[in-house]
Structure 1
Amino acid sequence: MHAQIVLFDGFDPLDVIGPYEVLYAGGIASGGAVSVELVSAEGPREVVSGTGGLTLRATAALDPGRAGLVLLPGAAGRMGALGSPARDTGDEPGPQEDSVPALLARALRTELPGLMAAALGNPEVTVGTVCGGSLVLAMAGLLEGRHVTSHHQGLDLLGTTGAHAVRARVVDDGDLVSGAGVTSGLDLGLYLLEREVGPRIAHAVEELFAHERRGTVWRARGPVSAGF
């Protein structure tokens, strides 16, 4: 499995580094069955995160035609009001430039939504999201009818886009697997290793990082709870 982890201006570093380290370690543990790289919509470049100017380098352009995993992080910045940044025209006072809504809006004005749409349309690609990464896809109109999670402060917004927002740590909707808050990227990475490579590899990485996955991976299977 080849994993492309997407960088965009203002990305959250932990959304990226957590899954990157898990998947990279999975590649070592599996003897090369997993490879991972950092990409951007624009191609190779230095990409500045939303956390203190921390910069990571994308070494390639996002290729939605390449089989494997495409993982989209969220943004880091001031929370502000998570309205609908995609409709921010500049005619009225908008969110602060360093706020999460503004950073997500900026990502929506790049080639990223089109590339992610192509990835979602490729039957050989699994799309993963961490935290606000699912909001980017949802606000681009790409998640209607899909089961997905995000940071708890973004779940209401998800519901306004036609997506089915699920309050869970990790949600598996087939070719779309999403993680909730920032540290859920570790859980997401371990789950994808288990699903795509095998539980023994995932367990080996889990032991290496001394991190135990939290919660049940939610899937649209089995009877619906009658409540408590």
Structure 2
Amino acid sequence: MAAEIAVVVYDGFDELDAVAPYEVFSNAAARGCDIDVSLRTLDAAESVTASHGLRVEVDGRLADADPDLVVVPGGGWNDRADESAWAETQRGDLPRELADLRERGVELAAVCTGGMLLAEAGVLDGRPAVTHASALDDLEATDAEVVDARVVDDGEVLTAGGVTSGLDLALHLVARLCGDEVADDVATTIEYEPRGEVYRDGE
């Protein structure tokens, strides 16, 4: 059975935070990696508008999926925009859903300030984590253990730094799911060289 990956999107998410992992996972699936990736929203919507104006059609609600892994993008955190990761923390519905998913054993991964949504959900408490450099002070104000890394793998919860680090996160996850050969093939196809070592607690 394919591993189900849901990239949860909302109005104001950063385009690259979500689209870059989506493309990596799609490329991996095309190379025989047994995964299925979709774009999901918390509430019913045909499309959402990202932080730079890109309108994206979605595949359905998160509640209607049965994901093994949920990827959370950031966006608009420092602007405190009305539609943004910050706004989603203020509304609270998405963090509550993420906390519930973790309770049910779903793996969670965040890109950029999507990590702040995981922090708001409480799933980073006591865990090593990272977010966009401009939001590290905010992350340090939570119960997360902030580390200097581009990607942090704490087993069932992963975080990545700013924007393009979503590529590194997704390639790392592909390597975990389907092996280094598939991940290397995808990296070659998208002409991207992963940057930095992945931080694992205790290593």
TM-score by length of structure 1 reads 0.82
**In the comparison of the two structures, how many residue pairs are matched?**
200
Deviations 1:37-61 (A, max 9, x none): 000100342101111x211112111
Quick one: distance in 2 between partners of 1:163 and 1:126? 17
- The structure with the largest alpha-carbon Rg is 1
Quick one: distance in 2 between partners of 1:5 and 1:67? 10
Please state how far the C-alpha of 1:110 moved relative to its aligned partner.
5.0
Q: Secondary structure at the match of 2:188?
A: helix
Alignment of 1:136-215 (within 5 A): 136-215=117-196
Q: Secondary structure at the match of 2:69?
A: strand
Residue aligning to 2:70:
70
Alignment of 1:1-228 (within 5 A): 1-30=3-32, 33-51=34-52, 53-63=53-63, 66-76=66-76, 79-80=78-79, 95=80, 97=81, 103-108=84-89, 109-123=91-105, 125-222=106-203
Gaps of 5+ in 2: none
Q: Check conservation: 1:3, 1:34, Cα contact below 8 A.
A: yes
Quick one: distance in 2 between partners of 1:48 and 1:65? 21
**Residues 65 and 145 of structure 1, relative CA distance in 2, 3 Å threshold:** farther
Gaps of 5+ in 1: 81-94, 223-228
Compute the RMSD of aligned alpha carbons: 1.8
**Residues 67 and 9 of structure 1, relative CA distance in 2, 3 Å threshold:** closer
Deviations 1:157-178 (A, max 9, x none): 1111110111201000110111
Please state how far the C-alpha of 1:65 moved relative to its aligned partner.
7.4
Q: Which amino acid aligns with 2:44?
A: G
Q: Which amino acid aligns with 1:111?
A: D
Residue aligning to 1:225:
none
Quick one: distance in 1 between partners of 2:30 and 2:158? 23
Question: Percent identity at matched positions?
Answer: 35
Q: Check conservation: 1:43, 1:58, Cα contact below 8 A.
A: no
